[in-house]
Amino acid sequence: MADSIFLDNHSTTPTDPRVREAMLPFLDAAEVGNPHSEHVAGRRAAEAVEAARAEAAALIGARAEEIIFTSGATEANNLALQGVMRSKDRRGNHILTCTSEHKCVLETAAYLSRSGCRVDVLPIEPSGLVDVAKLADAITDDTALVSIMAANNEIGVIQPILEIAAFCHAKGVVFHTDAAQAVGKIPIDVRGLGIDLMSLSGHKLYAPIGVGALFISEDTPVLPEPLMWGGGQERGFRSGTLAPHLCVALGAASAIARNECQSDAEHTKALRSRFLAVLRQEFPHVRVNCEESPRLPGNLSLVFDEVEADRLVGAVQPFVAVSTNAACTAGVLQPSHVLYAIGLSNQAAASTLRIGFGRLNTMAEVERAAARLGAAARQIREQELSDIVAA
């Protein structure tokens, strides 16, 4: 609908029109080619893939050969965690992660635990941050891998990756970070941060769903074993025919993000501030989760007091798209594990909405969305309190 306002940019970002324009020629019959073929069409596709790889690498300060294309961050995270723990070169059998990680990291860690690895899932503070001193203390001579996400997909909190990586390197431990939400939104320099392995996702970066990458540092002490076997594509880490149009899309999105990361951050931060101001005029009974912590510029995680989040989402349909949980947690009706990890009560967790502002949002639509959400929340709260009094 023309009046529909999309504020769920953590679940996915719309494809930037410039990205769409870059990828469309590679879907045309005259341009199609398997990038692993030797003929002219194949070589043309391969050149486009390699140019895209270079753009993705440039965004994060990597070398092109350190970028392995995947179907998205879930595959990249699995390749990182399972791959390292399958390697005969790993130094131990212990994995460290934390309670606010994306489900694909937590579920992969749980699988590895069932497969014989020792896994410790550290709590986070009410701030949403990992206690770095406690993490450092938890590293032992048996620790092979630490995986801590760069920025959370729900509460938006940015972890102290530089400090964590330094502790890992001091003890000879591989450090992996899921940076799907961070890349393109905040500056990420894999060399400066000391990252060994890093996952990213195209559809969090204004490219289409279906493409991502794993950065594998040339300096990492352990190379991951592949999860799939076949033709040995992607330096043997990820066999399978690449989709040139998706690789080109990720490359184009990376190039745009490299040039516009700062302006995007300023834009989304301004949208966030204005949204919160208008919302509080309409509905003052709202608070920001982890408000004092460093966070993504386009993120808000909001508790609407005495208002059920599911009911509020329904009340603003089809006009405003916001979410109560991570979209990739399919079929889950209960509040997110991340909200419980920061210590929210059942009621507060069930009253939390995730708002994600993006490059393509405008100030006018953000103001309309905030006013509509605030009015709906006020009506629901008044009705709930009226029902309690009547009872």
Q: Where are the domains of the chain?
A: 5-12+261-390, 18-255
**Cα separation, 300 vs 370, whole angstroms:** 12
pLDDT score of 28: 87
Helix, strand, or coil here: 384?
Answer: helix
> Is residue 328 flagged as an active site residue?
yes
Q: Is the backbone of residue 240 left (phi > 0), alpha (psi -120 to 50) or beta?
A: left
In the numeric block, the tokens 């894999």 are attached to 190
Pick the CATH number of 18-255 from 2.60.120.20, 3.40.640.10, 2.40.100.10, 3.30.70.100: 3.40.640.10
- Please tell us whether the domain made up of 5-12+261-390 is placed in CATH 3.40.50.720: no
154 burial level (CB within 10 Å; 0-12, 13-18, 19+):
buried
pLDDT score of 1: 46
Q: What is the DSSP letter of 336?
A: P
Tell me if 135 sits within 8 A of 160, measured CB to CB: no
Q: Which amino acid is at 97?
A: T
The DSSP element (H or E) to which 302 belongs, if any, is: strand 299-304
Strand 67-70 to 118-122 pairing: unpaired
pTM over 0.85: yes
Which segments of the chain have a pLDDT < 70? Answer: 1-2, 326-333, 391
299 forms bridges with which residues in the sheet? 356
Q: Which two tokens stand for residue 202?
A: 């195209």
Q: Which residue in 104, 117, 290, 328 is the catalytic one?
A: 328
pLDDT score of 275: 98
**Cα separation, 34 vs 38, whole angstroms:** 9
Fold matches, 5-12+261-390 and 18-255? no
pLDDT score of 377: 97
